[in-house]
Structure 1
Amino acid sequence: MNPDAWIALLTLTFLEIILGIDNIVFLSIVSGKLRAEDQPKARRIGLLLAMAFRIILLFGITWVMSLKKSFFDFDFGFVSGGISGQSLIVFAGGLFLLYKSVSEIHHKLEGEEESAAGKASNSLSGAIIQIALLNIVFSFDSILTAVGLVSSAEPPTGFGPAGALEIMVGAIIISIIIMLIFAGPVSKFVNEHPTIQILGLSFLILIGVMLLAEGSHLADLKFFGGTEVHSIPKGYLYFAIFFSLFVEFLNLRMKKKGTPVQLHNNKILDEKLTDNDLTN
């Protein structure tokens, strides 16, 4: 019944939805290469995995915080730092996201048609494995942000650690339900507009760079005796994303009657649908 608790719940739910945008973009790109009947299943499983990982990490928050401790310190003169479990997971996730995003952009713009046809029939299990791996990284980032927000708000609110945990679990469940409702339309919109696909992959590159910086910051990396690597504020990143989307929506509205560019993956899928229609 504490009004501060409701404010915290709404704030955290909004935060989880914002932090989940990168998850939905990645889901849209990966599931868009599956057969049409498998795409909703991949999105549902991906978001449910995201919810499960976040809740499990919340209940194991003591273990998560213990991963901050360095297990390997080094000093090579020009670079020094201490590798921890958190920094390793976040840094590896950033590398994976960069690799995946650049590979997808190359495939969509310059990939051969044979490989596009092969990738269009990717297995559901392969897509889920990719989604699960990245969800672990996104979950770490989301939980650490949520815990920091609630911890800073806890002293004046008075709902205590147990109440804070309930609020965070509630926010995660509500945000995932909202994302489940909108994941289908968002994925359809992304996959129908090539420029949105490329923008989405560019956003994932930005998020990958942010994760690399954050992983380096968690490892307390210092170059040439004292130049420390700082994390990139998420506000700058999400402002750039929303501003870019706003500009692209204006472009789409102004050029509504134009013929969109066909990316390789979309071209192959369209040809398959046309062949099926002719056969029927």
Structure 2
Amino acid sequence: MESLITLFSEPGVWAALTALIVMEVVLGIDNLVFISILSNKLPPEQRQKARRVGIGLALAMRLVLLSMIAWLVGLTAPVFDLGIQGAPGMHGEPTFETQFSWRDLILIAGGLFLVWKATKEIHHNVDPHPSDDVFDTGKAALTFGSAIVQILLLDAIFSVDSILTAVGMTDHLPVMVIAVVFTVIVMLVAADPLAEFIGRNPTVVMLALGFLLMIGGVLIADGFGVHVPKGYIYSAMAFSATVEALNIWARRRSSARSES
């Protein structure tokens, strides 16, 4: 206990904790959007339970990974090399890596799964079958177990990325644990309002799927050593979300004027 008091008496630790919480919350947005979209395809009485289970699994997985930091950091060590020389970039370095670690393989697999899932959902939104309308809130498009399995798969990918980010920002395990727990609490609070908002505004589903498609592509690129600055990604997402919010506001005002 005294060691914790000593640790948190340092201003630098509080600065690291604040920065880590912000980063973890931002990284958790992708996970939360995926959980919201999947849970909305379940019967109404199962949706909240699916969100709670999905977010609870995310917390459990992150805490388990934090207890295995030494092993997790080892995932960044190369496990094989393709031996292919990539084309030189602007500064003479290869444009992509040929050495792959377990982390790279996890990111590539997760990115491919996310691209596949987002593409499949976009197809169903653009050309839904009469008996499988994803906007039919009274009918399940998948089972509870299937939703939990898919959430668990994405939880694993986002958890690895989240914990490796935490390891890169601080060396103090208590700081990482506090940031992870705080982030999951924020996700729990935001899960139901976000899912209900997506459910009330079907056009937002397509925007969210576009976000997931982009995140999947970024994960694949990251696995191949092409690192896209996260600021660019989230700035684009924020801009798109702002435009969609203005569209929703405009539609509501137009509808109110027509009714009056």
The normalised TM-score by structure 2 is 0.85
Task: Provide Cα deviations, 1:123-181, integer angstroms capped at 9, x if missing partner.
Answer: 1111000000011111111111121122xxxxxxxxxx4xx110110011011111101
Give, in whole Å, the separation in 2 of the partners of 1:110 and 1:257.
Answer: 29
Is contact 2:132-2:141 (8 Å) kept? no
Give, in whole Å, the separation in 2 of the partners of 1:69 and 1:143.
Answer: 16
Q: Match for residue 83 of structure 2?
A: 75
Q: Match for residue 168 of structure 1?
A: 176
Count, aligned residues: 235
Q: Does 1:10 align with 2:30?
A: no
Distance 1:252 1:172, change over 3 A: same
Q: Does 1:49 align with 2:57?
A: yes
User: Alpha-carbon deviation of 1:77?
Assistant: 6.2
Matches of residues 139-158 of structure 1 in structure 2 within 5 Å?
139-150=159-170
> Which residue, 128, 131, 135 being the options, matches 2:155?
135
Distance 1:78 1:7, change over 3 A: closer
Q: Match for residue 124 of structure 1?
A: 144
> Which residue, 129, 132, 135 being the options, matches 1:115?
132
Is contact 2:84-2:98 (8 Å) kept? no
Distance 1:23 1:77, change over 3 A: closer
Give, in whole Å, the separation in 1 of the partners of 2:152 and 2:173.
Answer: 24
Paired AA for residue 146 in structure 1? A
Q: Match for residue 197 of structure 2?
A: 189
Distance 1:109 1:232, change over 3 A: same
Give, in whole Å, the separation in 1 of the partners of 2:176 and 2:83.
Answer: 38
Paired AA for residue 128 in structure 1? I
Paired AA for residue 251 in structure 1? N
Give, in whole Å, the separation in 2 of the partners of 1:258 and 1:240.
Answer: 27
User: Alpha-carbon deviation of 1:203?
Assistant: 0.3
> Which residue, 20, 26, 39 being the options, matches 1:31?
39
> Which residue, 242, 245, 262 being the options, matches 2:241?
245
Q: Match for residue 104 of structure 1?
A: 121
Paired AA for residue 107 in structure 2? V
Paired AA for residue 238 in structure 1? Y
Secondary structure of 2:227's match? coil
Matches of residues 80-99 of structure 1 in structure 2 within 5 Å?
81-99=98-116
Distance 1:36 1:75, change over 3 A: same
Q: Does 1:58 align with 2:66?
A: yes
Paired AA for residue 145 in structure 1? T
Q: Match for residue 267 of structure 1?
A: none
User: Alpha-carbon deviation of 1:6?
Assistant: 2.1
Cα RMSD over matched residues? 1.9
Q: Match for residue 234 of structure 1?
A: 230
User: Alpha-carbon deviation of 1:121?
Assistant: 4.4
Secondary structure of 2:188's match? helix
Unpaired runs of at least 5, structure 1 = 151-160, 218-229, 260-280
Paired AA for residue 197 in structure 1? V
Identity %: 43
Secondary structure of 1:39's match? helix
Q: After superposing the two structures, state which structure 1 stretch, 203-212 or 116-125, moved more.
A: 116-125
Paired AA for residue 247 in structure 1? V
Q: After superposing the two structures, state which structure 1 stretch, 115-124 or 207-216, moved more.
A: 115-124
User: Alpha-carbon deviation of 1:258?
Assistant: 5.3
Give, in whole Å, the separation in 2 of the partners of 1:13 and 1:44.
Answer: 21
